[in-house]
Amino acid sequence: MRKRNVTLSMPTDLIRRAKALAAARDKSLSELLRESLEEKVSEATGYRQAMQRQLRLLETGFDLGCGGKSHGPGIRCMKGDKVFLDTNLLLYAYDAGSPAKHAVAVRILEDLWKSGNGILSTQILQEFFVNVTKKIPKPLSVAVGREIVEDFLKWKIVPVEGHTILRAIDLHEKHKYAFWDSLVIQSAIEGGPGGSSPRTSGTVRGSGT
């Protein structure tokens, strides 16, 4: 592989901390910077390829036989310019058999792929996979469902952990939401700009609105 020297201008403190990190990893500063750049370029390339695959699928969609019916928690939560999607919206996006909802959902997904502002949780990806490969009238193959899920892993993914479940139970008890809806809401809260601390600035909207 051909190599070329480049000159970088960085803050002195950053250089000092980078040298310390390189030394701790038994690497030169040059090696550390090269590996970091390779990782960032690889991430960006992988995201772009995933986006292109999914936009091609969304362009035609599938006839899932849902007829516009709901198959998951009817919640879509938004925080600022970050958008947390629910299971329904993903299903509508791939279900060309429901033209009106499909068109709206596709537009939302296209915007989020291009902006990088989409957020999902492990719960939503699991529900989507089970629904799209088993519970709908015309399920997709496991291989296609897996590929879609794998590409969505390039988005910000909120893991459903123990504390997430406990806070969802608190929401369920306090507001009398269904538990699974509460888990979606709590995941959206944790995926927002404020992290895991509860916030009231976001909005919660039904996916049919």
Provide DSSP, 138-200. Answer: SPPPHHHHHHHHHHHTTSEEE---HHHHHHHHHHHHHH---HHHHHHHHHHHHHSTTTTS--S
Distance of alpha carbon 110 from alpha carbon 61, whole angstroms: 13
142 three-class SS:
helix
Q: Which pLDDT band holds residue 141 (cuts at 50, 70, 90)?
A: very high
Domain spans in the chain, listed from the N-terminal domain onward: 58-158+197-205
Task: Report the candidate in 166, 193, 196, 203 with the shortest Cα–Cα distance to residue 182.
Answer: 166
Instruction: Read off the pLDDT band of 171 (50, 70, 90).
Output: very high
Q: What is the model's pTM?
A: 0.66
* Mean pLDDT of all residues in 107-114: 92
Contacts of residue 112, Cβ cutoff 8 Å, sequence gap at least 6: 83, 85, 118, 155
Say whether pLDDT at 98 is over 80.
yes
Q: Is the pLDDT assigned to residue 117 strictly greater than 60?
A: yes
